[in-house]
Amino acid sequence: MASSQILSWFGNVSAENVPKSSKDVLTFHQFVMFEGILSGAHTVISVWGIFGNTINIMTFISMGIKDGFSLSMTLLAGVELFHVLIIFLRSVA
């Protein structure tokens, strides 16, 4: 391998094509576009998470919390619901 070549996941890449600083990776326009797409994806995924965790909590409560497993799954769904709500609020802000 030549000294001007480096090994990467995509094969041999010449050293001239490797970004020298973080400013060389994305332009500002690309960054804004990428953040907009991610924000939209976070919104959609978090809405599904809110819906699914609400169903889980309602199901476990209707079955009755009779053992430790039901309690732990209900609490897990509650914590996840809180987490997904925070993600949703951050994505729409």
Average pLDDT score over the chain:
85
Q: Name the least confident of 15-29, 34-48, 79-93.
A: 15-29
Percent of the chain with pLDDT over 90: 56
Residue 79, both tokens: 């914590």
Identify the DSSP state of 3: T
Contacts of residue 81, defined as CB under 8 A and 6 or more positions apart, other chains included, come to: 49, 50, 53, 54, 57
Q: Name the least confident of 9-13, 24-28, 38-42.
A: 9-13
